[in-house]
Structure 1
Amino acid sequence: MQRVCFQLQVAPDRIEEYTRRHAAVWPDMLAALEATGWHNYSLFLRADGLLIGYFETDSLAAAQAGMAATEVNARWQAEMGEFFVDLDGAPDAGFVQLTEVFHLEDQLDSLQP
């Protein structure tokens, strides 16, 4: 399972609305994420708009391609794009992917004989 962590910047004047929209994501969007391999997906938002996302998937490329093929994702991305600053493309493809430098379970597993 691939662990993916990413960063985006929500416009400070849009934080309240961004948070409200994520309190009740469309059921068909939730179903599409699950069906296309986005698991254990969480978003974390700092007071200044720094957004950190995390999810697990078998393949980032396949998960993104799967969502790109859905009608609901096209609608969601069109609505969500206006919330971000310095975004190159749609939010689900234009994010900055962060490099994992530590994972507890991986290191613990490496200690096992």
Structure 2
Amino acid sequence: MTAHPTRVCFELRVRPELVDDYVARHTPVRAEMLAEIAAAGRRNYSLFLGEEGRLIGYYETDDDAAAQAYLAASPIAAAWEAEMAPYFVGLAGRPDQAATPLTEVFHLADQLADAGRTLS
């Protein structure tokens, strides 16, 4: 039986006056950084931007500690995160290492599986 991936959600705050530039920097992200994210084992990665610069990120991975360690040691990721750091409010350290994690309280597929049902 295959283990479920770890689902990770986090929050950051983009400086409101820099939101447009932040979005432009992600449209698209440089190919070498995309490759590093994938090599770290993160997949199904999304960022969602809300009012006043509220940024919610989500990804799945089989081993989040290993993914974090890989990116922490990556010169490509270090350069990207150094470029991104000025965009964030109240952040100590690299954005990819210092984001506020959110606690998952509901996942439909898990609850259906626990109840003996499947998605159709």
| TM-score, normalized by the shorter chain, greater than 0.5 | yes
Match of 1:94 in 2: 98
> Residue in 2 aligned with 1:52?
56
1:108 maps onto 2:112 in alignment: yes
SS of 1:19 mapped into structure 2? helix
Q: How many residues align?
A: 113
Q: For each residue in 1:71-97, what CA deviation from the matched residue of structure 2 results, as whole angstroms up to 9, or x when unmatched?
A: 110110110000000102100011000
Q: CA RMSD in A?
A: 1.0
* In the alignment, structure 1 residue 2 sits paired with structure 2 residue 6: yes
- 1:61 aligned to which of 65, 71, 88: 65
2:40 equivalent to 1:36: yes
TM-score, normalised to structure 2's length?
0.91
What is the Cα deviation at residue 6 of structure 1?
A: 0.2
* Percent of residue pairs bearing the same amino acid type: 51
Instruction: Name the structure 2 match of 1:79.
Output: 83
Deviation at 1:112, TM superposition (A): 1.1
- Unaligned 5+ residue runs, structure 2? none
Instruction: Tell me the CA shift for residue 99 of structure 1.
Output: 0.2
Question: C-alpha displacement at 1:47, in angstroms?
Answer: 2.9
Counterpart CA distance in 2 for 1:68 and 1:26 is: 18
TM-score by length of structure 1 reads 0.97
Runs of 5+ in structure 1 lacking a partner? none
Runs of 4+ with deviation above 2 angstroms:
none
- Which amino acid is the alignment partner of residue 32 of structure 1? E
